[in-house]
């Protein structure tokens, strides 16, 4: 905790130190907020002030800061490829968590810190490994359901076209058969499995509190519309969205107004 942090204009030396530490953190794969904390402690300045000043420096001197493209231009496949060591860590961590009765979401959170990868990428990799190497999992994560492709309405409700060249049967002797055209057969999307549905509920409640009936129905509606897999990935990566913090701040302001 900082005591009596410095205020006022940043010196040239401080700016140089900030740029150096930001670039060093980027190269080491550190989170920006962790780098900001190091800078704040090093310069004895407040966290919010450092964060604001870093953004200002990036705007004024963008060429001084390292970027992801610069760091990985000689290894562009890094963000999409997984090493055998990383896959071993994924399988070992998932096995340990499930054996101890912990949720898959907890294992993913742990892997996020170990591998410096997003929760969405880890989630996808777990199910890729589950499909390719199921024998390496002591306790298999629940299998993701496969949805049937929803056909457009014009394909599911085709009009019956009569053959005008065909001789119509005699109405007195004709006996119709109970045939049902395949395109009139209703098609329903598969619902998410109970296991994945429960996992999504648990992931939501561990981050944002107990589900109400209204919010649970909304989640069910999203799972029916987009599928459980897409909802899970979006839920796990929700906090990475740039608009997330603003929405939370607006909600906080509304709550405080209601409470006054």
pLDDT digits (tens, 9 = 90+) for 221-250: 888 888 888 888 888 888 788 787 888 888
Q: 122: how many CB neighbours lie within 10 A of its CB?
A: 23
Please tell me the predicted confidence (pLDDT) of residue 90: 92
Across the chain, what does the average pLDDT equal? Answer: 77
Residue 107's nearest CA partner among 135, 82, 138, 132 is 138
Q: What is the pLDDT of residue 181?
A: 44
**153 confidence band (pLDDT: 50, 70, 90):** low
Among residues 121, 115, 112, the alpha carbon closest in space to that of 80 is found at 121
- pLDDT at position 253 is 82
In the chain the first and final C-alpha atoms are separated, in Å, by 31
Closest CA to 200 of 115, 123, 121: 123
Domain boundaries, the chain: 12-71, 82-136, 194-242
The mean per-residue pLDDT over the stretch 9-34 comes to 88
Of 32-36, 179-183, 197-201, 226-230, give the lowest mean pLDDT range. Answer: 179-183
CA 115 to chain centre: 16
* pLDDT at 67 > cutoff 50: yes
pLDDT at 76 over 60: no
Position of tokens 């549905």?
Answer: 197
Q: Which residues, other chains included, contact 8 with Cβ-Cβ below 8 Å and sequence gap of 6+?
A: none
């Amino acid at each position: 905790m900082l005591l009596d942090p410095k205020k006022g204009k940043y010196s040239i030396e401080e700016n140089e130190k900030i740029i150096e530490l930001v670039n060093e953190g980027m190269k080491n794969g550190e989170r920006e907020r962790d780098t900001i904390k190091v800078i704040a402690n090093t310069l004895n300045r407040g966290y919010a002030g450092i964060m604001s000043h870093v953004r200002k420096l990036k705007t004024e001197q963008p060429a001084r800061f390292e970027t992801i493209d610069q760091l990985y231009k000689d290894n562009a496949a890094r963000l999409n490829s997984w090493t055998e060591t990383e896959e071993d860590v994924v399988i070992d961590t998932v096995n340990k968590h499930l054996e101890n009765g912990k949720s898959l979401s907890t294992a993913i959170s742990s892997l996020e810190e170990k591998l410096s990868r997003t929760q969405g990428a880890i989630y996808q990799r777990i199910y890729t490994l589950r499909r390719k190497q199921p024998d390496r999992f002591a306790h298999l994560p629940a299998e993701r359901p496969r949805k049937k492709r929803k056909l457009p309405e014009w394909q599911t409700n085709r009009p019956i076209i009569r053959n005008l060249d065909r001789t119509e049967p005699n109405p007195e002797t004709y006996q119709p058969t109970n045939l049902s055209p395949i395109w009139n057969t209703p098609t329903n999307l598969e619902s998410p499995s109970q296991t994945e549905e429960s996992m999504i509920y648990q992931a939501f409640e561990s981050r944002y509190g107990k589900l109400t009936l209204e919010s649970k129905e909304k989640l069910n509606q999203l799972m029916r519309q987009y599928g459980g897999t897409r909802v899970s990935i979006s839920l796990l990566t929700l906090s990475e969205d740039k608009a997330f913090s603003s929405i939370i701040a607006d909600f906080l302001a509304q709550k405080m107004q209601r409470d006054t």
